[in-house]
Structure 1
Amino acid sequence: MAELAAPDVLRATDALAGAGALDIAAAIARGETSAREQCSQAIARIEALDGPVNAVVVRDFERALEAADRADQAVARGERRPLLGVPMTVKEAFDVAGLPTSWGLEEGRGCIADSDAVAVQRLKAAGAVILGKTNVAPGLGDWQSDNAVYGRTANPWDLSRTPGGSSGGSAAALAANMVPLEIGSDIGGSIRVPSSFCGVWGHKPSYGIVDVYGHRYPGSDGAPQPLGVVGPMARNAADLAAALDVIIDAPLDRPGPLDPGSKQLLLLDAHPCAPLDPEIRAALDRAERAALAQGMDVVRSSELLPDLHAQHRAFCKMLAITFARGAPAPDGRAASLADWFELLDAQARNRRMWSRLFDSFDAVLMPANVVPAFPHRDDPYDARRMTVAGQDVPYDTQLVWAGVATWPGLPATTFPAATTADGLPIGLQVMTDFRDDHRAILIADLLHGALP
């Protein structure tokens, strides 16, 4: 990791630096520390570490300390909540009353939220203390977090590289140990790619299980975005699962303890629409060996697998319509209502195909992206190309592995799995059936624990 060492005084006094959210909440509940102390130490870490990273771009420290005091009062009254007193940040795209929500866009610079997003409300109700907001890609539409409002966020592992986008500030803040928990959003890998690039955990929930109100394009009224979801980011699987339970609309089933010997995994290491970086392929091979050593059954092909090429084309078409918000495409043609309903039908058929596959498999293991974290880019988005496994490909090739789970609306958990020869993190993702989110997190944790 790039040199981001905090002053010695921080290391000497911040005993829970690097601890998970649940560990911090438990320590506060036991009286071993306080919410104010944890909030103050998180603020000190941000002030000491964030300069070269530029992750926490909207800071609300005074109100956070007041919220921490209220949390300590609640603890003293005997209250116990999942995240009581835990300091955290949220992606800039979420409304937090009194703070700007610009999505990194100049035209959104003056948008000040008058209420909290639903996910933020639920986190606060669980006791979380919101320190501020983290940087994003402009309009949430890039795998970099670099915009005209807040500037560029760097990857803590290598400041010359992107932390990913659009939840890049979220992943960077976690990776640099500034906070233990974050909340992001994902439509084209915006949780999973930054998690992979920064070596943290991220979960893209099943579509529709988390109320997205308050995560809205500046000036819009907050109608749910097709394909888009809101999900947690953390430094371990337990925190990821706990935060998911806090923000979901209704409880999800939790599988019991998993027996590795009974697990059937489908491993995907090739996609017809994109090459794959050799070091990511090696990480998949390594994960397969670890899974087999645990007694899992792993196969690399299945006749049940949907047509990934057709699925990707349909996903990109729906994504383009969604981002254009009805405006004509570059060729001047606007999608018709018939086009849209045809896509919805194709999407429903695709989800049923995956459901049949999950009758035979517990999960699918696959890459989170085609490459690890890449150097910052300044060239115009539409002109960007990239080299993957020696091949020149479009920049948007990075949508390929994200779309496998996004198009059918399925849950996917990204977990740290390896590092490159240059020391950069590599994350892989585990996808499961619709509303089987906790199984995705559990199997990801099982694989992570099996890796050397």
Structure 2
Amino acid sequence: MFELHFATAIELVAKIKSHEISAVELLDYFLDRVETYNPRLNAIIWMDVEGARARAKAADEALAKGKNWGPLHGLPMTIKESFNIAGGPTTWGRPDHKDNMADSNALYVDRLLGAGANIFGKTNVPINLADWQSFNEIYGTTNNPWDLGMTPGGSSGGSAAALAAGLTGLDAGSDIGASIRNPAHYCGIFGHKPTYGIVPSDGQALPGFFNQADIAVVGPLARSAEDLALSLDIVAGPNQITSTAWQLNMPAPRKTALKDFKVAVMLSDPAAEVEQSYQDRLQAVADALAKAGATVSDRARPDIDTARAFEIYILLLRAATSRSAISEQLAYFETVAADPNTDRDSYLARMARGVLLPHREWLTLDNERAFMRHAWTKFFQEWDILLCPAATSAAWPHDHAGERHDRMITVNGKQQRGVDQMFWAGYPNMVFLPSTVSPAGLSPEGLPLGLQAVAAEGEDKTGIEFCRLVSNEIVGFQAPPGYE
């Protein structure tokens, strides 16, 4: 059964439904792998084995009676710790919430269960979901299966590591600052950040939070683009409050063959210089696209000032995340904002300004964002995909020292603030666009690199289909060594 752990979710469910393997056997198979490999990774940090075995048994009994639970019938899977599962912990890695046990499921969880999934565990996160690493005092540090000394990304780092190592059949995360996309890139898997608002985030929250934060979304991570598409179909659509007024009708992919796609390629930007070897790998993908007949341009761009877009993104991002700031943090940011020696263009200064942003200024920034959304809409009238990096480099070594905004990484032999990578998170995310990350090959050091495919607002299936075609015809999922 070597092939099972790196099979796609669709393939695994097909094996259950064809009686090649039972849901109980498949669950036990993954639990055995968790027991073997999770100690070195610390990707899965909570499990309900008893409940999962009972559900697997029920899935087999239902199938024996001719009952089909849905497209995920009996699939063993995990989900990010930040989603509520009744009876399980939802801490967001925060010590002050270490005893918080959910009394109901997130809507995303209920939709997965309604499609037949068997969710047996939860995956690790950074504190407050606020890092491109995944470590906290409650659960410890998650390692990258390609190199245990490297970050798996964050905040959905546990999810990506578990999928890459073949410990689970499917997963889901959240994304406001590339928290689905950078782990997919660092671990060599697939991740989709949906168009803002099409997938409800109800129950992906700490106690007392009920609204969907600005920019923030929830979406799938997987070992194939096909699994992303299936997951999105299952979880997308209005919640109970909005379902009276509207229903979701996502358009089909614009194109279904690489030769028909029009692809704009953006390899770097002054706001966030990208490692040359990473640029070269993306260029190789672009060259392969052109060879396949696609129309490819390295000049086409939306008419947007990227530096200003990055500034607005950080301000709106930190305004959105300020609702969880404690009083000591607010006092610190007030000090930073009032200090005349603070560099107003620094990430820290923009972070402080965003946390303290007056509503009138937020409205002004939101108006600028609306202008940029129109510019993107015009761009996508001519182009189908913007292909760009998901970060500035491959995964980098664990670094838990000091504050996140002070930590440095090395790009092209130079020191770069790790938070500069947020540019590639915010460029599409601030304006609500869907973005899919899929494998683009390996770095010279043998670490995964991902391409980011940005599509028009609401046209999530175009980006996913593009990545499906790329993975089938150019470069796709590769398993990390040592997890056979």
State the TM-score, normalized to the length of structure 1: 0.94
Q: What is the Cα deviation at residue 162 of structure 1?
A: 0.6
User: What is the SS of the residue equivalent to 1:331?
Assistant: helix
Aligned ranges 1:129-278 → 2 under 5 Å = 129-216=118-205, 218-249=206-237, 250-255=248-253, 258-278=256-276
Aligned ranges 1:351-370 → 2 under 5 Å = 351-370=373-392
Residue type of the alignment partner of 2:209: D
Q: What corresponds to 2:436 in structure 1? A: 413
Question: CA–CA distance in 2 between the matches of 1:176 and 1:55?
Answer: 10
Q: What corresponds to 2:348 in structure 1? A: none
Deviation string, structure 1 residues 352-409 (Cα, Å, up to 9, x no partner) = 1101000000110000100110000021124312222233222211201111111110
Q: What is the Cα deviation at residue 257 of structure 1?
A: 5.9
1:71 aligns with 2:94: no
1:400 aligns with 2:389: no
1:84 aligns with 2:73: yes
User: What is the SS of the residue equivalent to 1:352?
Assistant: helix
Report the more deviating stretch, 231-240 or 340-349.
340-349
User: What is the SS of the residue equivalent to 2:39?
Assistant: coil
Residue type of the alignment partner of 1:436: E
1:38 aligns with 2:1: no
User: What is the SS of the residue equivalent to 1:374?
Assistant: coil
User: What is the SS of the residue equivalent to 1:89?
Assistant: strand
Q: What is the Cα deviation at residue 185 of structure 1?
A: 0.6
User: What is the SS of the residue equivalent to 2:337?
Assistant: coil
Question: CA–CA distance in 1 between the matches of 2:271 and 2:434?
Answer: 22
- CA RMSD across the alignment: 1.5
Q: What corresponds to 2:244 in structure 1? A: none
Q: What corresponds to 1:94 in structure 2? A: 83
Residue type of the alignment partner of 1:165: G
Q: What is the Cα deviation at residue 70 of structure 1?
A: 1.6
Q: What corresponds to 1:377 in structure 2? A: 399
Residue type of the alignment partner of 2:270: P
Deviation string, structure 1 residues 248-299 (Cα, Å, up to 9, x no partner) = 0134222276132221100001213111111210111111111011000110
Q: What corresponds to 1:307 in structure 2? A: 305
Q: What corresponds to 1:3 in structure 2? A: none
Q: What is the Cα deviation at residue 303 of structure 1?
A: 5.8
User: What is the SS of the residue equivalent to 2:40?
Assistant: coil
Q: What corresponds to 2:456 in structure 1? A: 433
Deviation string, structure 1 residues 222-248 (Cα, Å, up to 9, x no partner) = 211111000000001111110111110
Deviation string, structure 1 residues 104-145 (Cα, Å, up to 9, x no partner) = 110110110000001000000000000110000111000100
- Tell me, yes or no, if the aligned pair for 1:14 and 1:41 is still in contact at 8 Å: no
Question: CA–CA distance in 2 between the matches of 1:43 and 1:258?
Answer: 37
- Tell me, yes or no, if the aligned pair for 2:259 and 2:289 is still in contact at 8 Å: no
User: What is the SS of the residue equivalent to 2:103?
Assistant: coil
- Tell me, yes or no, if the aligned pair for 1:291 and 1:450 is still in contact at 8 Å: no
Residue type of the alignment partner of 2:374: R
Question: CA–CA distance in 1 between the matches of 2:55 and 2:103?
Answer: 18
1:54 aligns with 2:52: no
Report the more deviating stretch, 300-309 or 250-259.
250-259
Residue type of the alignment partner of 1:87: P
Question: CA–CA distance in 1 between the matches of 2:409 and 2:144?
Answer: 19
Q: Name structure 1 gaps, 5 residues minimum.
A: 1-12
- The 3 A distance-change label for structure 1 pair 49 and 429 is same
Q: What corresponds to 1:331 in structure 2? A: 337
- Tell me, yes or no, if the aligned pair for 1:163 and 1:169 is still in contact at 8 Å: yes
Q: What is the Cα deviation at residue 91 of structure 1?
A: 0.2
Residue type of the alignment partner of 1:132: G
- Tell me, yes or no, if the aligned pair for 2:396 and 2:409 is still in contact at 8 Å: no
- The 3 A distance-change label for structure 1 pair 257 and 352 is closer
Deviation string, structure 1 residues 127-184 (Cα, Å, up to 9, x no partner) = 0000110000111000100110100000000001010000000000001000121000
Q: What corresponds to 1:386 in structure 2? A: 409
Residue type of the alignment partner of 1:248: A
Report the more deviating stretch, 199-208 or 19-28.
19-28
Question: CA–CA distance in 1 between the matches of 2:32 and 2:259?
Answer: 45
Report the more deviating stretch, 270-279 or 399-408.
270-279
State the TM-score, normalized to the length of structure 2: 0.88
User: What is the SS of the residue equivalent to 1:52?
Assistant: helix
Question: CA–CA distance in 2 between the matches of 1:369 and 1:235?
Answer: 20
- The 3 A distance-change label for structure 1 pair 384 and 257 is closer
User: What is the SS of the residue equivalent to 2:201?
Assistant: coil
- The 3 A distance-change label for structure 1 pair 256 and 35 is farther
Aligned residues: 439
Q: What is the Cα deviation at residue 30 of structure 1?
A: 1.1
Residue type of the alignment partner of 1:193: N
Question: CA–CA distance in 1 between the matches of 2:146 and 2:302?
Answer: 39
